[in-house]
Structure 1
Amino acid sequence: MLKPYTKSQLALRNGQDREEIWCAFKGVIYDVSASRLWRNGHHYEHWAGQDLTEELPDAPHTESVFERFPIVGTLL
């Protein structure tokens, strides 16, 4: 079972407050720390530590991009 995290806990994993760079999509939290595209906690106009579900339609890729990253938990 995956550990649940609140939005406040997710917000701390933004690449600024802590080293972890996490983002959520459809209730699942992914660790994108290893991606050079998420360096410093942002990726184009998107920011880490947030739920990106509503922002994906504006992205030039599909949700399959999340398959590259480890799952660390679920978003409450």
Structure 2
Amino acid sequence: MKKFTRKELARYNGKDGAPAYVACEGEVYDVSKSVLWRKGEHQATHNAGQDLTDSIKEAPHGPDLLKKFPLVGILEES
């Protein structure tokens, strides 16, 4: 399984043809095919290429929703 640093993850922001990856609880998911992540943004408050562990706690859904997307790697602790 690929290991991502935060700097590497930031490259997968869903912009300029890059895939949209997000991290949560140490796992990195590919949300590129979700219509809710168009152009790397979700609900105009979240951006791809970031660790959403803290912000997902305030979302109307929990982190289990991300498990529906392909797991592409592990986020390394910095």
Supply the RMSD in Å over aligned alpha carbons. Answer: 1.0
Q: Which residue of 2 aligns with 1:68?
A: 68
Q: Which residue of 2 aligns with 1:56?
A: 56
| Counterpart code for 1:5 | F
**1:13 is the counterpart of 2:31:** no
Q: TM-score, normalised by structure 1?
A: 0.93
Q: Which residue of 1 aligns with 2:36?
A: 37
Retained in 1: the 8 A contact 2:11–2:18?
no
After TM superposition, list the pairs within 5 Å mapping 1:22-33 onto structure 2.
22-33=21-32
Percent identity over the alignment?
45
Q: TM-score, normalised by structure 2?
A: 0.90
Could you tell me how far apart the structure 2 residues matched to 1:72 and 1:53 are? 16
User: Deviating runs (4+, > 2 A) in structure 1?
Assistant: none
Could you tell me how far apart the structure 2 residues matched to 1:68 and 1:50 are? 18
Structure 1 spans left out of the alignment, 5+ residues: none
| Counterpart code for 2:49 | G
Matched length: 75
